[in-house]
Amino acid sequence: MFPEHRPRRLRGTAALRRLVSETTLRPRQLILPMFVAEAADAPRPIASMPGVVQHTRDSLRKAAVEAVRAGVGGLMIFGIPRHHDAEGSGATDENGILNVALRDLRAELGDDTVLMADTCLDEFTDHGHCGVLDENGGVDNDATLRRYADMALAQAEAGAHLLGPSGMMDGQVGVIRSALDQNGYTETGILAYSAKYASAFYGPFREAVDSQLKGDRKTYQQDPGNAREALREIELDISEGADAIMIKPALSYLDIVRAAAENSTVPVAAYNISGEYAMVEAAAANGWIERERTVLEVLTSIRRAGADMILTYWAVEAAAWLD
């Protein structure tokens, strides 16, 4: 008449639940993406991402210090230039907003955090694609690699600890690794966006970086229906010298995060992206969900799937809740 097995025994108190919890979520596992805009004279709220702003150089420094004090494990910096052009020249300009901001943060924080840079041209081009275009309007893979090599060197010189090539160009990790090594930046690491999908959830991010994109990125980002392809991309990036790999987006691709964790020989990151953030914020603002519980459940699910680190706009808030 009575059950022989009673799993509920281990759920009876908060102390018991804490004792047997299988998945840990700590501030050090969270990475805060941050935006800095060349033309901003005050922090600019991003309408589709409540609580997130385009920073000035000064406000970026202050927010970065606060994030590090909160225990966040790293910062991923995106630059928004005043002017765009076909080559994305602002990406390699030593006085361009991203490189200047990286120098600011390295001078302010030194090695107290892991300073990461988005190594991609999309924020800097007037067509919004992640590379330079050929005569037919397509993204030229190999010409783009040359731009990535120059961009990587500029970011390494500016003080980034890890570079984040996110353009999904074939061979990008190998070219960047070679450029870094040949120029003496052997200690600068690569966090490769190895499986980046052509997702509908990037919409708010394009507002955040003032994207000039026309069309889509389906010729170089992955088809959402493909899983084996992701494992191939991961294997290639590791063979080319990636120090860590990333899955983007996170929530719709938890199966890919799990597969990456089971197969990767390097740490695995997952990017809890803008659209995922915006959905939770909108639902919470309408009183449909409990915000703090939902945020921590989302982040725990990504850790449970196998991510060693999570890029999330909730990093600072979540760090405070966890501690």
Lowest-confidence segment of 6-20, 198-212, 223-237, 295-309 by average pLDDT: 198-212
- Beta bridge pairs of residue 116: 76, 162
Which amino acid appears at position 228 of this protein? R
Residue 78 has pLDDT above 90, yes or no: yes
Q: What band does 94 get if pLDDT is binned at 50, 70 and 90? A: very high
The CATH number of the domain covering residues in 24-244? 3.20.20.70
What is the predicted pLDDT for the residue at 220? 87
Q: Tokens 């596992």 identify what position?
A: 29
260-276 burial, b at 16+ Cβ within 10 Å, e below that, comes to: bbeebebebbbbbbbbb
Residue extents of the structural domains in the chain: 24-244
Could you say which of 62, 196, 214, 218 is catalytic?
196
For 14-55, the pLDDT digits (tens) are 999 999 999 999 999 999 999 999 989 999 999 999 999 999
Question: Parallel, antiparallel, or unpaired: how do β-strands 53-55 and 44-45 relate?
Answer: antiparallel
Q: Give yes or no for a contact between 153 and 160, defined as CB atoms under 8 angstroms apart.
A: no
| Catalytic residue from among 62, 214, 218, 248 | 248
Is 218 in the active site? no
Amino acid at 213: L
Instruction: Give the number of other CB atoms < 10 A from CB of residue 259.
Output: 21
Mean pLDDT of the chain: 95
SS3 track for the chain: CCCCCCHHHHHCCHHHHHHHCCCCCCHHHEEEEEEEECCCCCCEECCCCCCCEEECHHHHHHHHHHHHHCCCCEEEEEEECCCCECCCHHHCCCCCHHHHHHHHHHHHHCCCCEEEEEECCCCCECCCCCCCECCCCCECHHHHHHHHHHHHHHHHHHCCCEEEECCCCCCHHHHHHHHHHHCCCCCCEEEEEEEEECCHHHHHHHHHCCCCCCCCCCCCCECCCCCHHHHHHHHHHHHHCCCEEEEECCHHHHHHHHHHHHHCCCCEEEEECHHHHHHHHHHHHCCCCCHHHHHHHHHHHHHHHCCCEEEECCHHHHHHHHC
Q: What is the pLDDT of residues 161-204, one digit of tens each?
A: 999 999 999 999 999 999 999 999 999 999 999 999 999 988 88
- What digits encode the pLDDT tens for the residues 218-247? 888 999 999 999 999 999 999 999 999 999
Percent of the chain's residues with pLDDT above 90: 88
Task: Decide if 196 is catalytic.
Answer: yes
| Torsion region of 171: left, alpha or beta (phi above 0 gives left; psi -120 to 50 gives alpha) | left
Per mean pLDDT, which range of 138-142, 206-210, 319-323 is the poorest? 206-210
